[in-house]
Structure 1
Amino acid sequence: MSLDDAVQDLADRLGVALVVLDHDLKIAAFSVHDTDARLARLARLLAGSTAPVTKSLVKEYRLHHAKHGVRVTQDDGELVVLPLRHEQQLLGYVYYVEDRETPCADDLEILESAAPEMGALLSLRISERRHGKENSKHLLAALLGGSPEARSKAAETLVRDDLIDDVENYSVLVLQAPESSSKSVTRLAVEATLEFTTRSTTVKIVGAVLGAEGIVLFPRPVNHDRLERALAGPDLEEVVAGVGGVKPSLTEAVHSYHEAQLASRASRLDRHRYGKRVFWEDLGIDRLFLQLPLDRLTPSQLPTGVRRLLNAPHGVELATTLEGYLDSGGEIQGTARRLRIHRSTLYYRLDRIREVIDCDITDGSVRLELHAGLRIARLAGLWPHK
């Protein structure tokens, strides 16, 4: 018998709608919810908007230590919760909201008598999930880091085992927590993305933590707004998300992965411009610059005009002004608006820039050299400190 069968049989016997949660209070199974009120509660639970059993409830009623069912009075009715164990290990909880007109006196006895079998079946389901996650992790690692033959085999297995949809649009999301954070934050970001997607759609996605990166493979383009909502948790505020471009086959997803890594790098190097959710398609010329050995560049390798500007007194102010001027295509009013300064101040600074670099900044080739040099200096961390 499966956990789903056991839950449904017990629910039919009691005349209630049962839900089984694992130790992390995530849904492991639920019975048929056959009334409007029950369906509404289930919909709220699946959407993540409300959960009758919370960490605070577990702590308040010491549910993790309970040996018998516990009755909890809540606004929408009495909640009956029973811990599920296997070989003395707490694995989760089974609960129902009391909504029957005439409850039976021996409900708790019936529930508790079924607990050992349900605990064993929940243990098996958790084990299957863990095995499935490990299998997905190995396949994802082979798909994104193996030889062409290994990638082809991993792609075939992912589709055959119904772990990912067989489509013509694949994109990769790379998640990275700050270096000061623990690896668990990255894992939490992956889980949050998987859970959000599972709740909101039937699209199959695969995710795992590989090294310091959290990786999620999507069989479609990644939606920016939904990505923001998936990573909206308080523990995920500083997680950086890089999204690669869409590729036409699973074996080419490795290219989307490399693009996602570069997009993630862009956020770390220039958070002011890119923020924490960066898409490859939005990088522009930085697509090329980010593939340079930026960590090995030195100031001596920058164009002469850029070096002079960065080393000059008030170098940050002058470099920022020139960068804004070049970003605005040399248009005075647009530059002044971008920098939030008066036009007379801008003219003064441009004159000072001409003196320092000893170049004609209206010349196209000079502008190209200065613009590229300033951008590379910023990405390489060679921008002067104030």
Structure 2
Amino acid sequence: MRDDLQDLVDEVSALLGAPATLEDRDFTLLAFCAHDGTGPATPGATMDAVRARSILGRSSTPEVRAWFESHGIARATAPLRVPADPAAGILTRLCLPVRAGGRLHGYLWLLDEERTDVTDPGAPGLAEAVALAAEAGRLLAEGRPGTADLSAALRTALTDPAPAPGRAVRTLTEALGAGTPVALVALLPAGPGLPPGWTPPGAGAVTAVLDDGAVAVLLPLPGHGDHRPAGALSGAALGGLPPGSTAGVAAARHGCGELTGQWHEARTAARVAAADPRLAPAASWAELGAWRAVAALPGPDPVLAPLLADPVLTETAATWLDCAGSPQRAAGELCIHRQTLYYRLGRIEQLTGLDLADGADRLLLHLGVRAARLAGIGWVPQPPRPLGGLVSMPS
């Protein structure tokens, strides 16, 4: 394909009598032609700092990109003129948008010294050059990202520092469509690795496996805020994973510009689903409630360390607090006599030095035992609820 693109650039350069450069939509150089200088071009006037950098470094600076995009090149569907910026060393140039199927794939640039009138459809060589730009778009579209490329883009967008996610996000946006409502699902398999042959359900879903074994699934949604497809996908995906695996669903967004925030939400929801039997095996960010604040903590307060060494007392404290301090309800939940509960509460005070009659101490204890539960410290996991309740997950 690269040879075909070079031939196209050479032909456009000859048609319009000017040096030509082909870049993708990220301003990465794909091909260029140094015009032979015959014709009306002024010697030495057809090279500027931008073209030199593009050829030598195969890229442009963010400032240069911002200058060109501020003149509407990303939205253009016809040839347009980008004015010069003498202070930045930018000469005026002709831009031919490279499109296919309504999608932008790149730009053909010509340093033509304003000889071509973009307002005149009959300008010599212009119509032919536009047709060649369309052919370049077709060639680039045929090389559009496949499934593996999209998985790599999703992985990059979630794990790599800037500026890598910018290009990855644009790749995903092109594939899914700008402004498409998307949900991000986090799957936390129980145990290392995925079952052989496992694939997530869901039409159009993009999947990436991260280094720690977590699985991210990016899913286009039919309507903003409707999590039902994501909930259904979570249930079906968990059905193929080992028991004890959990899933989390982030709040829906328009487009792929907030994937990092969505991944935090989805992964937090999946972690909470593993910690709270009432939410297992799948939870959405919207239903986490106080768990959101707990997930933001670095861990339980050190004063609780003696308590957390005793799983029975830790579970007693968590249950009593979740029951709003009701001895009757807590004893019933724990299947113990009320006097046994009182004895355990006294032991909790002795171990921690907290006064359970004090609201601030109870808050510290409640946050601490929940943070410990989220980290899997000092508690005994309970069986998850059946998978059948996943589809109607609240949005």
TM-score by length of 2: 0.49
Shift in Å at residue 370 of structure 1? 1.4
Q: In structure 2, how many angstroms separate the alpha carbons of the residues matched to 1:237 and 1:129?
A: 40
Determine the C-alpha separation between the residues in 2 that align with 1:130 and 1:140.
15
Q: Any residues of structure 2 matched to 1:1-386 within 5 Å, and which?
A: 132-147=146-161, 149-160=163-174, 163-167=175-179, 169-180=181-192, 182-185=193-196, 188=198, 191-193=199-201, 197-198=202-203, 204-211=204-211, 212-220=213-221, 221-223=226-228, 225-231=231-237, 233=239, 236-268=242-274, 270=275, 272=277, 274-294=279-299, 302-303=302-303, 306-310=304-308, 315-383=310-378
Deviations 1:198-239 (A, max 9, x none): 3xxxxx432233433322112335436513542264555454
For 1:332, the aligned partner's letter is: P
Matched-pair contact (CA < 8 Å) for 2:238–2:246: no
Match of 2:78 in 1: none
The amino acid across from 1:366 in the alignment is D
* Identity score, percent: 30
**1:172 match: secondary structure:** strand
Q: 1:209 to 1:353 in 2, by over 3 A?
A: closer
- What code does the residue aligned with 1:276 have? P
Q: Is the 8 A contact 1:231 1:237 kept in 2?
A: no
Partner residue in 2 for 1:119? none
Look up the SS of the partner of 1:170 in the other structure: strand
Deviation at 1:143, TM superposition (A): 3.1
Please give the alpha-carbon distance, in whole angstroms, between the structure 2 residues aligned to 1:310 and 1:143: 37
Say whether the 8 Å CA contact 2:150–2:171 is kept in structure 1: no
For residue 200 of structure 2, what is the amino acid of its counterpart?
A
Match of 1:18 in 2: none
Secondary structure in structure 2 of the residue aligned to 1:215: strand
CA distance 1:222–1:384, shift in 2 (3 Å): closer
Please tell me the residue identity of whatever aligns with 1:169: P
**Aligned AA for 2:364?**
E
What SS does structure 2 have at the residue aligned with 1:241?
strand
Change (3 A) 1:256 1:347: same
Sort the Cα spacing of 1:369 and 1:207 in 2 relative to 1 into closer, same or farther, 3 A: same
TM score, norm. by length of structure 1: 0.50
Contact 2:184 2:219 in 1 (8 A): yes
Partner SS for 2:258: helix
- Alpha-carbon distance between aligned partners in 2 of 1:369 and 1:333, rounded to the nearest angstrom: 23
* Largest Rg, 1 or 2: 2
Whole-Å separation in 2 of the counterparts to 1:342 and 1:172: 45
Counterpart amino acid of residue 334 in structure 1: R
Aligned 8 A contact 2:169 2:256 in 1: yes
CA distance in 2, matches of 1:213, 1:316: 27
Give the AA of the match of 2:372.
A
Letter in 2 for 1:364: G
Query: How far apart, CA to CA, are the structure 2 residues paired with 1:131 and 1:156?
Result: 11
Q: Distance in 2 between matches of 1:254 and 1:208?
A: 14
SS in 1 for 2:247: strand
Shift of 1:368: 1.0
Distance in 2 separating the partners of 1:385 and 1:236:
19
The amino acid across from 1:258 in the alignment is H
Question: Partners in 1 of 2:246 and 2:143 — Cα distance?
Answer: 27
Higher relative helix content: 1
> 1:292-333: per-residue Cα shift (whole Å, max 9, x none)?
555xx8xxx522xx344445xxx4333322221111221233
Q: CA deviation at 1:338?
A: 2.5
> What secondary structure does 1:192 align onto?
coil
CA change 1:216–1:336 in 2 (3 A) is same
How has the CA–CA distance of structure 1 residues 271 and 357 changed in structure 2, closer, same or farther, with 3 Å as cutoff? closer
* C-alpha separation in 2, matches of 1:322 and 1:139: 44
Shift of residue 365 of structure 1?
0.7
